[in-house]
Structure 1
Amino acid sequence: MAITASMVKELRDTTGAGMMDAKKALTETDGDMEAAVDWLRTKGLAKAAKKSGRTAAEGLVAVSVSGNKGVAVEVNSETDFVGKNADFQKMVAGIADVAMGVDTVEDLKAADMNGKSVEQTVTDAVAVIGENMSVRRMATLEGETVVSYVHNAAAEGMGKIGVLVSTKGGDEAFAKQVAMHVAAVNPAALNEAEVDADTLEKERQVQIDIARESGKPEQVIEKMIEGRMKKYLSEITLVNQAFVVNPDLTVGEAAKEAGAEITGFVRLEVGEGIEKKVENFAEEVAKTAKG
């Protein structure tokens, strides 16, 4: 039986399977739509695709360091429970190892992992574990010394927050303290020069609006804004923040005492920036009753 484009589309709409998988299923079942659905289900392809619309905002961040390079990778799942699954953890650790050899998350997804691409490996895991999963992002860091730190670790080298810090001079013990600080305080940038220009301008405009509400003269407002922006930068830049290990010093001052220069950092937190859909069961029941 000839397999038409409309048949492939119908099967894709029904199962959420990919175009080539849908076409193969129809070919294998001689165009029998119901049999094709079953074929996709037995291969785990329909199940995996159906999960793809669900929000994956949990999961793990894995960190790995080799020589003067470190990598952090976020792999998401739908529930926190999966993050505790040994098979999921093993897969995430393997993905982090593969990430050491690539530069972007797109390259990572396409990279080989035990004979299959990372993306295919994750798709196969979706079918087995039964939750939507995705390799969301990765970041690399290089430097004279690179250390990693995981907060709220679920297993070796992976947890809810993964941090990399690179330093020049000093020792690894100090760099590790800085990594712990980054995990706890979440600075926006290393120093003033690295603060995003749009972020800076947005904050300045907010401070201008606040200051003008006071009704004070323009020259006074200018000084107010200057002082508030200086305080703002001290709060969001790593080297100017009060060091959690010794709040009497800034991180930059502590680095100087340790004979170190902090050259960079990476911080990935699971689900950061993902909008989680919150279901209100009572409202859903009320809507259904009215309908």
Structure 2
Amino acid sequence: MQRAALRAARAPLLRFFRTARPVLAADKEALLELRRRTGLPFLQCREALLRCGGDAPQAEAWLREEAQRRGWSKAGAVRGRRAREGLVGLLREGPAAVMVEVNCETDFVARNAEFQRLVEQAALGAMAHCRAAAPPAGCSKHLLQADELAQLRTGPGGALLSDHLALAIGKLGENVALRRAAWLRVPEEDGYIAAYAHGWLPAAAPVAMGTYGALVACRVTEPRAPAATLEEVGRKVAQHVVGMAPTALGTPQDQPRGEEETRLLAQSFLLEPGLTLGQFLRARGALAVCDFLRFRCGEEPGESGAAAPR
């Protein structure tokens, strides 16, 4: 009798546990979607769903808060570790273009989608900052250091880039740094910006990425060439800037000074060594160069190419 009573008392409790299935079994699709949206491991996504009673939006918010908290904590542990790998990201929007550098410790992490997402967010933040500036009368250039870049937002009401950085550190487990950013802007009526990224993602991507990058501010010459010609000539000039690392602009009349020449317009043209870049542009037409920027990922301060006064 006592055993029968004990079994009867336990029955409701056993039925309760049998019907309370784990979140993984009850909603595998929600788990997979949460994993896809956050990029975090399955175990962490499952824990979030359990904590939030299966509510996917709440689980995602909890995961991001937790990743950010852990990221800031991990940032202190990895700060100071050498971070010279990474990517340069380029984004063009009409008469404006930005270039950013984001560093990490290893080439392996630089190829990670989460790291590349941070590069894209940094480029979007720099572009929003560029667009908010007053339109230039001519060509304008602006440089942003790491602390300025970290305080930008990816858009109105968006999170700070420093918060995105914390999330990335928490997920990747390496020292990751927002190194720097720069932009060029030209007048809409007769300006053109060429861009070239030497590396992994194609220039057709919203944010082109590579280990080298160049932006070249140009004036469109008359008669105005078709858009395809502007793109072709501009890309060749930007490719030359990446390959030849000029440090000054110079003038179209400059005479070359041999292999050590650092003035852009006087350098032997990378794709046609029998001509200087200035001669190539005079012969081809379409564009006249006004300014340029060049980043090499991991370079020491002061090494990046940027046009000096003539």
TM tier, smaller = 0.5 to 0.7
Report the equivalent of 1:186: 245
How far, CA to CA, are the matches of 1:174 and 1:42 in structure 2?
47
Report the equivalent of 1:121: 164
Which is richer in helix? 1
* Residue from 82, 97, 109 that aligns with 1:55: 82
Report the equivalent of 1:174: 233
How far, CA to CA, are the matches of 2:259 and 2:82 in structure 1?
34
**Is the aligned partner of 1:240 residue 2:266?**
yes
Within-5 A mapping of 1:74-85: 74-85=101-112
Aligned residue for 2:75, secondary structure, equals helix
TM-score (norm 1): 0.63
**Is the aligned partner of 1:163 residue 2:210?**
no
How far, CA to CA, are the matches of 2:265 and 2:193 in structure 1?
17
Count of residues in Structure 1 that have an aligned counterpart in Structure 2: 201
C-alpha change, 1:69 and 1:151, in structure 2 (3 Å) is same
Q: Does structure 2 conserve the Cα–Cα contact (< 8 Å) formed by 1:59 and 1:270?
A: yes
How far, CA to CA, are the matches of 2:69 and 2:280 in structure 1?
59
C-alpha change, 1:120 and 1:241, in structure 2 (3 Å) is same
Report the equivalent of 1:139: 182
Give 5+ residue unaligned stretches, structure 1: 1-38, 193-226, 275-291
The one-letter code sitting in structure 2 at the alignment partner of 1:243 is F
How far, CA to CA, are the matches of 2:71 and 2:151 in structure 1?
20
How far, CA to CA, are the matches of 1:187 and 1:40 in structure 2?
42
Report the equivalent of 2:61: none
Aligned residue for 2:170, secondary structure, equals helix
The one-letter code sitting in structure 2 at the alignment partner of 1:164 is L
How far, CA to CA, are the matches of 1:66 and 1:264 in structure 2?
17
**Is the aligned partner of 1:150 residue 2:191?**
no
Aligned residue for 1:128, secondary structure, equals helix
1:96-142 CA-to-partner distances (Å, cap 9, x unmatched) read 01111225344431122374210121022112110001111111112
Q: Does structure 2 conserve the Cα–Cα contact (< 8 Å) formed by 1:71 and 1:100?
A: yes
Q: Which has the larger radius of gyration?
A: 2
The one-letter code sitting in structure 1 at the alignment partner of 2:173 is G
Report the equivalent of 1:29: none
Identical-pair percentage: 34
CA deviation after TM superposition for structure 1 residue 154, in Å = 4.2
TM-score (norm 2): 0.59
1:180-234 CA-to-partner distances (Å, cap 9, x unmatched) read 1111111111117xxxxxxxxxxxxxxxxxxxxxxxxxxxxxxxxxx9xx72797
Q: Does structure 2 conserve the Cα–Cα contact (< 8 Å) formed by 1:83 and 1:154?
A: no
CA deviation after TM superposition for structure 1 residue 69, in Å = 1.0
Q: Does structure 2 conserve the Cα–Cα contact (< 8 Å) formed by 1:48 and 1:124?
A: no
